[in-house]
A and B are shown apart, each in its own frame.
Chain A
C-alpha cells in the first residue's frame, strides 16, 4: 500500500506535462513542438507578444482545441479521453469576459456552481466565501454587464475557482485592469497557490511575468526559453550595458549597425544596449563605440531576457 501511494505521488508531481505539442490551423502553425512541465502548486507564466500562441497553447491544455501532434498529461491523467472528468478539476478564466452580462453577480455565481454540479448548500457556502474574498458583497445584485473592468475580473476569477479546481488557467487575466487592481489580483493568485492550486497564467506584462515561479518565453509558436525569472536573467545570452550622455538617438542608430549588438533601446536618460555573449569585453566594446559617453554594466531585467530570446524583433 505504502509503496503504491509513494509511487503515485511521484507520478502526479507535475500538474501539466506536454511533449511535442503542435497545433496547425491549415498551413499556419500556431504552436510548434512545445514541451512543458509545470510542477504542482506553482504559478507558471506564458510570456509573449500578441499572436505568439499563448492562447492557443492554453486552449490545447484545457482540451478546448485538439492538438495536431503531441501528448498532454493533466494532473497525472492523459487529457485525450479524459477531458470531461478533468474539467471538474480545472478552472479557466477566458481572455474576454465570458460570463452573462444580463445576470447579476450572484446569479452568475449560482449558475456556474450548478453547472459544476455543486449541491445547493455547498454552493451557498462557497458563494458567500468568494463574495467576501473577492470583495463583491455589495455588488451581488448588480448586473455583470454594468461592472467595471476590475470587478468583472474578480467575478470571473470567483467563477473560475468556485468549484475549487486543482489547476487554474488564466488567459491574460489583467489586460483590462488598472495597475492597482493588478497588484491585488496577484496577491489573490498567491493566496490560491499557497493552498496548493497550480496556476498557469499568460501575460504580456514583464512585471507580472517576473512574479511567476517559472515561465516560458514564447514567440511565433515557439518556446524560446524557460525557467525561473532569476535563472533566465542569469543565463541570458547577452550582456546589458547602460550608456548615458548626449545625442543618444544618434548613438543608437550607430550601435545597431554592428552585428555584435542585439538591440539598443532608450529608457529615460539611458540607452540600454544588449551585447551578444561572444563579445569578450562588452563594456570596453561599447565604451569604444560610444565616444566618451558614460557606460556601465547593468543588471539584466526580464525585458532584456525577452529581447535577447526573441532577437530584439519585438522592441521598437
Chain B
C-alpha cells in the first residue's frame, strides 16, 4: 500500500516541479497578495475627502475647520458657496461628505455647553453645524459620525474641565489598533483555501482530461492510495506557503507571532488537510478542470466573506453563522488568530481542531467512495 502511495507522491511532485507556472504561483501568490493586502486593506478610514459650505465666514468657523482637520479623519478638498452645489459634488462622487456651517454658527457656538461650560443644556441648545454624508459606505460614514461629539472647548483654549470617562478601555493584543495585525492571519487562511482547494480539485480531473486515468484504473492501485498520494505533495506546498506568509508578516508588517510554533504548525496542518480533502471531493464531482475551478470559486467566496476574514463573525445573522461554521476557513480563521495574536494553545481550541479533523476524514471517505474504478 505505502509503496504505491509513495510512487504516486513522487510522480505528483515531479509533475508539479516541472510545471514552472504552477510552481511559480505557489511562491508568488502568498508573496504578492500579502504585500498588496497587507498595505492596502485598512478599515480605519482616514483623510476622507470632504467639502465645506461656510456661510458664517468668521474666525470661529475657521477655528472649527482647523479643529476638524487636526483629527486627520477628513481633508477639506473643496469649498462650495451653497449647499446645492455641495450636494451635486457628493452625487458625482467628488467628496464623501460636506460640512455645513450656518450663518449664525458663531452665536450657536457661544451658547453651546461643550464650548462654554458655564452654559446650561437647554431646549435652545443647537448643533453648530451639519454633516451631510454619503452613507452608502458604512466605514466612511462611521468615521464621520465619530466627529459628532468633537470637543469644542479646544477652540476657545479652555480645555480644562474635562470630565472623566465612564469606562476605561484597555486594548490587549493590538494596542495600536493596526488593521494588518488582524488581516494577516486571515490572509493566511484565504490564500491556503485558494491554493489548496484549487490544486487538488484539478488533481483527479487532470488525470481524466489527459487520459492518464484510463490506464491508471486498469492497474491494481486503490482509490484511497491514489487520494493520499495525490494530496501529500500539496501538504508540503501548504506548509511552504504558511512559512512564507508568517515570516513576511513578522519581518515586514511586524505582526507579533505570540503563540507556540507547534500549535501554529498543527493548526495549519489540520486546515491544509481539510482543504485538500474538500478539493478532492470537488475533483471527483467535476468532469473538466474548468468545472473544478468554478466549484472552487463557489467555496472560495463564502470562505472569504463569511469566515470572519472581512466582517466579524458575530455581526452575521444566525443562518449565515451556520454556513460559516461548515466552512473549514472559519475554524482556521478563529484558531490562527487566537494562536498568532493571543498566544492561545491548540488545546484551548479543541472544538475547531476537532471539526477540521472530522471534516478531513469525511472528505477523504467521500472522495474515495465517489471515485470508483470504472469509466462511467
Query: Which residues of A are in contact with B by a Cβ distance under 8 Å?
Result: 59, 62-66, 83-84, 87-88, 90-92, 94, 96-103, 107, 110-112, 114-117, 159
* C-alpha gap A208/B7 in the complex (Å): 36
B353 vs chain A, min Cβ distance (A) = 34
Q: Which of B210-218, B265-273, B300-308 participates in binding chain A?
A: B210-218
Closest chain A residue to B219, Cβ basis: A115
Contact at B11–A65, with CB atoms within 8 Å? no
Please indicate the chain B residues that have their CB under 8 angstroms from the CB of A110 in the complex.
7
B287 adjacent to chain A (CB < 8 Å): no
B211 touches A115 (CB 8 A): no
Docked complex Cα distance between A100 and B19 (Å):
13
User: Which of B72-80, B245-253, B368-376 lies at the interface?
Assistant: B368-376
B219–A112 touching, CB < 8 Å = yes
Q: Is the CB of A114 within 8 A of B4?
A: yes
B15 at the interface (CB under 8 A from A): yes
Asked if residues A100 and B375 are in contact (CB atoms below 8 Å), the reply is no
* Cβ–Cβ contact B19 & A102, under 8 A: yes
Contacts A66-B376, A98-B214 supplied; 4 other A-B pairs, CB < 8 Å: A84-B222, A98-B212, A99-B215, A117-B220
A to B CB contacts below 8 Å, 25 in the list = A62-B218, A64-B218, A64-B373, A64-B374, A65-B374, A66-B376, A83-B373, A84-B222, A87-B219, A91-B218, A92-B215, A92-B218, A98-B215, A99-B215, A102-B19, A103-B11, A103-B15, A107-B14, A114-B3, A114-B6, A114-B7, A115-B4, A115-B219, A116-B219, A117-B220
CA gap between A304 and B364 in the complex, in Å: 55
Q: What chain B residues lie within 8 Å of A62 (beta carbons)?
A: 218
Q: Which of B7, B220, B221 has the most CB of A within 10 A?
A: B220
Query: How far, in angstroms, from A114 to B19 measured CA to CA in the complex?
Result: 23
Contact B211 A94 (CB under 8 A): yes
- Chain A residue numbers with a CB within 8 Å of B14 are 102-103, 107
- Is B84 close to A, CB under 8 A? no
Using CB atoms, name the residue of chain B closest to A90.
Answer: B218
Closest to A112 in B: B219
Which residues from chain B contact A91 at a C-beta distance below 8 Å? Answer: 218
- Chain A CB within 8 A of B18 CB: yes
Chain A hits for B375, CB < 8 A: 59, 64-65
Bound together, the chains give a CA A110 to CA B4 distance in angstroms of 11
Chain B residues positioned under 8 Å from A111 (CB to CB) = 7-8, 10-11
Interface string of B340-376 (1 = CB under 8 A from A): 0000000000000000000000000000000001111
Interface string of B14-29 (1 = CB under 8 A from A): 1100110000000000
